[in-house]
Each structure stands twice: as structure tokens, then as C-alpha cells.
Structure 1
Amino acid sequence: MNKTLLLVFALLIGTITVNSQESRYGVRIGANLSSISSDDITGDFDKSRIGVVVGFLADFALTEKLRLQPEFQYSGQGNKDKDLRVNYLQVPILLKYNITDLFNIQLGPQAGIKIWEWEDNQADIADFSTFDFAGVAGIGVNITDNFFVDLRYAFGLSNVFDEDGSAIEIDGTSRNIQLSVGYRL
């Protein structure tokens, strides 16, 4: 199922790239305030982590007001406790609707692959799953034609803990508020 979703995303990006009339490319950098929502984690593990997000984007016109914005980004997420820190490479694919020339709203799926987790996990903390899927909603402000600011909320749709690789069973989903600035060419 996970591989099928990634293949569909890749085909969608390829199709849009070929059919797009207007395309722009850019970079974005910002900060995450992330946490893991779980009834199975108790104690001090519910504190949020501040992490960095940095990535590249493509911006394709679909209609006059509707755009497709696939991205490739690094994101530091998890909780403040070192045992619950995880970093991802993510591919958000956002539909962006321009309300005005200044404001837009964004909505779409996001697939992520784990590239790092804290190595010295305690015996009572499970390993992170390799894949993470989330839904993303956000608002954007175009400061100029090139500079922009985004505020997004990503809510996890899959269990972030590995169900097969752990002796104990923990369920949890990611939550992430992201503020970023960017530049489009």
C-alpha cells in the first residue's frame, strides 16, 4: 500500500510537469513545532520539539487560481525527549488555491521516509516506523512575487511507531505546526 501511494504521487508529479503551462521553482526554510499524539506514552513525553524544515518546491499552474505545489523537504520532528526524536525526508503534494494575489490556502497529502531516529532508545520506547503519512492544511502570504510565508498544520494519518520491530506495542501519530519563509524563482 505504501509503495503504491508513492508511485501514484510520482506519476501525478510527472503528468503535471508535462502538462503545466506555467511553472516556478523555489526553496523554503522554517521551523517546526511537533509532537506525537499517543495514549500509550505517559510522563514527560508529551512535550513538543522545535525542529527545522528546509526544502525545494515546484509550483505549477492548473487554472488561473489553482496551483499544484509538490515539494521535497527535510523535517526534524518528534517530541522534546531525545528518545522520541525523528527526522524525515518528506514529499508534500499540495493543491494551492489563490484567494487573492496576496493570500492562498493549501491542502494535500504528505509522505515521509525516516532518515534518522535517536539511536539509544530505552527498552520501553518503540522504534519509529520507516514511513509516515500525513494530511497538510495551510495558509500562505505572498509578500512579493518571489518571497512568501507559509503557516501549515500536518496531522498524522499513520502510526509513527514500528509495529513489527518492537517488543511492546505503541500507537502514535505525528502533529506538526510549521512556519516557513521561501523564495520562488
Structure 2
Amino acid sequence: MKTVKLLIMLVVFCSTGMTMAQTRPGIKVGLNSSNISNTALDTKSGIYIGAFADISLTDYYSLQPEILYSNQGGKSNSDAYGDVNINYISIGIPNKFYVSPDKGFHFILGLGLDINFDNNFVNLTNFNVDDEISPLDVVVFGGIGYEFDFGLILEARYKQGTISVDFFGEDDYYEEAGSNLNGVFQIGAAYKFKL
């Protein structure tokens, strides 16, 4: 019985804390500069776009769950192979740590899950694969940003995948099977709406 009472008190406390927190929705858009490690691919440009909810828990800390579309992959430097395009739905939980209570400059640390919903691997010249790629990637990311009083946010992040894309075996072009990790530098802007 004491356990039930404790759980109820914990749920009430958490619910009260979340309702007291200021939550503001927003949208974001930016550019990706992506590559896949241990390949001969060059860096590829892409975009990301999506929405988030900024949950301000203290003057110095916000939680910002987000869902984004992110175009990643690598650019081919050979006529024998095409560019690698991977389209992800990215679900992330950035933690924002502000330097001062009036927001402004902040650091970002977070974890995310990238869901591969579309890619061009089966269309690449000389390859016939359709089931050798990872449908998911668990990512860690960090960065810096600046938030203006009127809601505009500018951010730069680096996102590192932890699960090998594993789309090809070892050969002359893809240097090492089993460790082909996504790496993405992101720069963009967001706008946080006032409710």
C-alpha cells in the first residue's frame, strides 16, 4: 500500500511540475553536411526540417523534444558509383543549457533515434542490395546556439551515429564493412512561438 501511495504522489508531483513548466512549440530548418565513415564518399549537402516543443524547466535549462526530416548520406567521387542518399525521420531529445537566465547563448546535448524510411541503395550502379542496411540509427549530438528574445534561435550541431549503416561489404570503394557510421554537421534556424 505504501508503494501505491508513493507512486501516486510521484505521478502528481511530475504532472504538476510539467504543467508549471512553460511549453512553447516551434519549427526549425537547416542544412546538413553529412558523410559515412570508412567509405570513399565525399561530404554531401542536404536539409533538415521539422517541429519541436521547448519545455522550459528552469531559467538555465530546457528540454526540447523534436521530430525532423533529415537528408543524409555521401557524395560519390566516382563515375562507377552514385551518390548515397538516406532519408531519415529523426526523433531527438535535446537538452539546452543556458549560460544566463535571460536565455541567449546555450549549449546543446542530446540523444536521438533516426528511422531510415527511404534510400537509394538498390539503385546504385553495380550493387543489388535491398536488405543489408540498418533501418535505425541511435545518435548522439552536441552543439551551441543563441536564442533571441523574439523567438528566433540559431544553432550549430554535430550529430554522430552509433549503428553501422552496413550497406555494403568490404571492397575497393567501401573500405571497411561493419563500421560505416553517419556523421552530420548541422547549421540552421528555428522559431519558437508564443502561446
User: TM-score, length-normalised on structure 1?
Assistant: 0.79
Bigger Rg, structure 1 or 2: 2
Instruction: Provide the rounded CA distance (Å) in 1 between the counterparts of 2:154 and 2:87.
Output: 23
Amino acid at match of 2:55: F
Unaligned 5+ segments in structure 2 are 1-13, 77-81, 171-176
Aligned to 2:4: none
Q: Within the alignment, does 1:148 sit opposite 2:143 as a pair? A: no
The equivalent residue for 2:123 is 120
8 Å CA contact retained: 1:86, 1:128: no
Q: Where in structure 1 do 4 or more consecutive aligned residues deviate above 3 Å?
A: 15-18, 124-127, 166-170
1:64 is matched with which residue? 59
Measured in 1, the distance between the counterparts of 2:35 and 2:94 equals 22
SS of residue matched to 2:123: coil
The answer for the alignment partner of 2:23 in structure 1 is: 23
Aligned to 1:73: 68
Deviation at 1:143, TM superposition (A): 3.0
Number of equivalent positions: 163
- Structure 1 residues 125, 49: closer, same or farther in 2, change over 3 A? farther
1:159 corresponding residue in structure 2:
164
What is the correspondence of 1:5-44 to structure 2 with a 5 Å cutoff? 19-20=18-19, 21-38=21-38, 41=39
Q: Distance in 2 between matches of 1:62 and 1:24?
A: 12
Instruction: Name the Cα RMSD after superposition.
Output: 2.4
- Looking at structure 1, the residues matched to 156 and 188 of structure 2 have their Cα atoms a distance apart, in angstroms, of 7
- What is the aligned counterpart of 1:107 among 106, 109, 129? 109
